Amino acid sequence: MTAALQEERAWRFQDHAKLPDRLLMLGVVILWPFIAATLATQQVYRLGARVRREAGIGRLRQWAGQMQIALRWLMWPQHYYMFELYRPGQLAKAQAYLLRAQTKEGAYPLFKNKTMSGYPDHPFKDKAAFATLCQQRQLAVAPTLLAGEADGRVTWPEGVTDLPAADLFLKPRTGQGGRGAERWRFRDGAWHRGDRHLDQAGMIAYCRDLSRRHPMLVQPCLVNHPDLSDLAIGALATIRLVTVQDMNNAPKAVAAAFRMPANAQSVVDNFHAGGIAAAVDIETGHLGPATDIGLLPDSAWHEKHPITGAQIAGRQLPAWTQTKTLAVTAHAVFANRVAIGWDIAVTPQGPVIVEANGFPDLDIIQRTQGKPLADMEIGHLFAHHLARLKAAYIAGGLREVKD
């Protein structure tokens, strides 16, 4: 799979790269051994003691393992720790892991077919527009109460010009990773965050001011299903569920991870921002043990939640069948995408789409599953679609899937 993707990218590079791009690539190739050695040394300094305790592998051997994956497969040294390639037999599987550069800059642009009529082109960039589209298609989605514009204007997508007397969640309309998100608690007729409190006029003005710097939206604060409250610790825990078109181009739920905050003060559950996640059995909805991204001196695997002590491993997610059905149904609305990553919250009323990602990060899937994409159905389907694209390229039809 990775070889096919590299070949596809090489064709695209040859067709479109200009001289500065080619010179930059040559410079990176020449300097890469020195860059890798520096990064490997930094990682050993930060994480070497933990891995020596866990696996009995000395720092020099860890450094050598990082250099092996960096020079042989052009992986970042940190992937040695993220994917625990120091475990017995794992280093031999290194080339089967699909990295962010191979998905976000490789497969996903190829997988996006702009020529299909009747489907929105960039449906996920603007979260407010995405929510409106989902509502039009009768998909359960977190509603947008108020949307701010760059010129300071605000719109009311729901048509109601009053904010509800309830907790609110503010986030950038085009942000990623939970950055810039704020949770405001409602009590005594006002919204509170830290030492600050705002009435309705103040909250609207605050959203206007923020939006002049970065357009924002306001949503009601969703609440998890009661069966998940001891894992959410006051924030919203969500499922990252990946759907991929099968060999008949029908959407299929193929991989998932359940994300939880690991800090009582956190307002988001983002995996790359200190949260933890557990693999989800795609058939049954049962959870495996949870972990973080694996790049901290105290990174670990948790059978129970590190804050609440609630059981994680073996736990059954509520409404799992309905959650998969929602994601598959939603993917059919955006059938010009081969793969989509859905962020779904299971609420007391059932599963609700929070966001969708046209270029989903798959580190969370590979890290929590403890195996590379090439060993999963998602990898097999990616290989199928890459082979289809290769055949289209050879036949002179790659124009249909270019950026």
Predicted confidence (pLDDT) per residue in 6-28, tens digit: 555 544 544 555 556 555 566 56
Q: What is the 3-state secondary structure (H, E, C) of 225-286?
A: CHHHHHHHCCCCCEEEEEEEECCCCCEEEEEEEEEECCCCCCCCCCHHHCCEEEEECCCCCE
Nearest to 5 by CA among 75, 74, 107, 111: 107
Give the model's pLDDT for residue 2.
58
| Residue partners of 19: CB distance under 8 A and separation at least 6 | none
Nearest to 93 by CA among 156, 2, 197: 2
Q: Give the tens place of pLDDT for each residue, 300-328.
A: 999 999 999 999 999 999 999 999 999 99
Instruction: Please compute the mean of the pLDDT values over residues 70-96 and round it to a whole number.
Output: 94
Give the model's pLDDT for residue 97.
94
How far apart (Å, rounded) are the C-alpha atoms in residues 93 and 98?
A: 11
| Residue partners of 335: CB distance under 8 A and separation at least 6 | 116, 119, 245, 249, 251
Would you call 74 helix, strand, or coil by DSSP? coil
Give the model's pLDDT for residue 284.
97
CA angle 158, 159, 165 (to 5 degrees): 70
Q: Which domains, ranges and CATH numbers included, belong to the chain?
A: 2-97 (no CATH), 115-126+225-372 (3.30.470.20), 143-220 (no CATH)
Exposure of 113 in the CB half-sphere (CA atoms within 13 A): 20
Q: In the structure, how many helices (H) and strands (E) does the chain have?
A: 12, 14
pLDDT for residue 149 is more than 60: yes
* Tokens encoding 69: 């994956």
How far apart (Å, rounded) are the C-alpha atoms in residues 314 and 303?
A: 9
